[in-house]
Amino acid sequence: MYRSPAMSPSTGGIAVLLAVGAGCLALAIASLRSGSWTRRLYGLEPDNDASARANAAVLGIVGVGLFALAGAIVLELPSAIVRRATILASALLSFVLGWLVAVRDRRELLTTPDVDRKTGRRLGFVVIGCGVLLLAFVPLVWLEVDDAVVAVGALASTFDVLLAVAFAYR
């Protein structure tokens, strides 16, 4: 099968990272305007500037993170370092977001509108739990285990998180 030298798999992956990162940043910027369609998409009141700024901050951080990951790939940093840094940064951001929601009662950071304090606390602790699950992948990456083991772990973690979010909303 012929493969064009101009479009390698890493080029396609970088393009996807940049597109999703740009989309996150565009949504973040669009949600800052009062009465924007993105505020309605989130289920926010059109004049709720604090919640819109909080959602924009989260989307902005995700967008910048995706740009950083694309930059690391372009600069051809060692993949082991990029994998570990990505997992550790994601875990740290999960801890911070979960702590802000669960402990500091910053429920406006959630994209779910008008959750009560108790549900917000439970969701915040679920996000902290996501950070703990992410840390479990660091040894797998460090030891360079088989991709199938990582995939099974990721699927199991996803299932656990879905169940935890469902119970948090109960």
Distance of CA 118 to the CA centre of its chain: 23
Spell out the alpha helix ranges (H) of 75-136.
Answer: 79-102, 117-135
Cα–Cα distance, 42 to 57 (Å, whole number): 14
Q: In this predicted structure, what is the pLDDT of residue 113?
A: 62
Q: In this predicted structure, what is the pLDDT of residue 67?
A: 92
What pLDDT digit, counting tens, does each position of 108-157 carry? 777 776 788 998 899 899 999 988 888 888 888 888 888 788 778 878 88
Q: In this predicted structure, what is the pLDDT of residue 19?
A: 93
The residue ranges of the chain whose pLDDT is under 50 are 1-4
